[in-house]
Chain A
Amino acid sequence: MSLGQRVSSDHQLTRLLQIGVVLEELVESRAAHHIESLPPDERATVDEEVEELLAEAATESADHRERLEALIDDLEAETVGYEEINALVDAQYGPPEDTDGVLYDQLANEETAYKFYDDLIEAIEASESEFAVDRDRLLETLYSIREEEKEGVEEVTAIMERRA
């Protein structure tokens, strides 16, 4: 058991970045599933704003995934492919009841991703270890992804408030 938040090796860093990739793939896949899962009448009433939000979330996740994958490449490791995660989402997917459920799930996605990057940054900053990937580049990438996740949380919250 390892007490205290600290990333102390390339191996541990790689594993955490791989988990980040899976979380992004989850967001991407769930966003796609949400739109498809809504019954036709509900789907017709999903306003443009929500549809746009889900499309943006999927695009943004794909972009985050690529940035994480570039770091993982430098650490000479691989990631789990999107199709594999998509199949796992498919196997366990329980669609939200309505558009509010979709938004709630999207909020949970963004909040979880934000929390993950926030903890990861803290654990890297708490460590004095040298990594095979440039530390400044690593942290800059994670800061910027975390910022975008924060904006994502604000965006979903704003839509939810408008609908309330």
Chain B
Amino acid sequence: MNTADQYLKAIYLAQRLEDGPASTGTLADLLEVSPASVNEMIGKLEDRELVDHEKYKGASLTDEGLERAHDALQTYCIIERFLANVLEVEEFRDEARALESVIDDTVAERLDTIIDRPDQCPDCFDAEADCCELLELEAGGHAD
């Protein structure tokens, strides 16, 4: 997943968490980057008409940005589910975050052929828990 898509996904989750525009601070925390980096990228996404930015309020996704964020979140859900249910990784959230930049959408689509993902994905993603609220861990599994 490329950097722009990771930002769009973070804005989508931040908007859900904050029930409004995503603030620079929240995005910097979610993405573990500096506020200056966030502002620079928001500017680029605004130029590409993926994000609307209102000074002192924050960033909101445009319709096109929302669609891309949705796809990015779906890719992320696939990575989390694959790690949790196929590789049985205990720390699947942390690992998904560490791997998402190296896993391309096409690779995730292939991995998706062997995982069981609900139809409503990614709407069932719980932004606060940082994983799908319907994710079932394997028996004897590794819920943390």
Contact = CB atoms under 8 A, between A and B. Distances in A.
Interface of A: 1-7, 12, 15-16, 18-19, 22-23, 26, 30, 80, 85, 88-89, 91-93, 108-109, 111-112, 115-116, 119-120, 123
The prevalent SS among residues of B at the interface is helix
Interface centre among A6, A116, A120 (most CB of B within 10 A): A116
A69 B121 CA distance: 33
12 contacts: A1-B30, A1-B32, A3-B31, A3-B101, A7-B102, A12-B99, A15-B89, A23-B107, A92-B115, A112-B109, A116-B104, A119-B107
Interface string B107-131: 1011101111000000000000000
A12 B87 CA distance: 13
Interface of B: 3, 6, 10, 30-33, 82-83, 86-87, 89, 95, 97-104, 106-107, 109-111, 113-116
B106 to A, nearest CB: 5
A16 B113 CA distance: 18
Nearest to B109: A112
Contacts of B30: 1
Contacts of A116: 103-104, 107
Contacts of B102: 5, 7, 16, 119-120, 123
Nearest to B29: A1
Contacts of B111: 19, 22-23
Given A26-B113, A112-B106, 6 more contacts: A3-B32, A4-B101, A23-B110, A26-B114, A85-B86, A89-B114
Contact of B114 (A2, A7, A85, A108): A85
Nearest to A30: B113
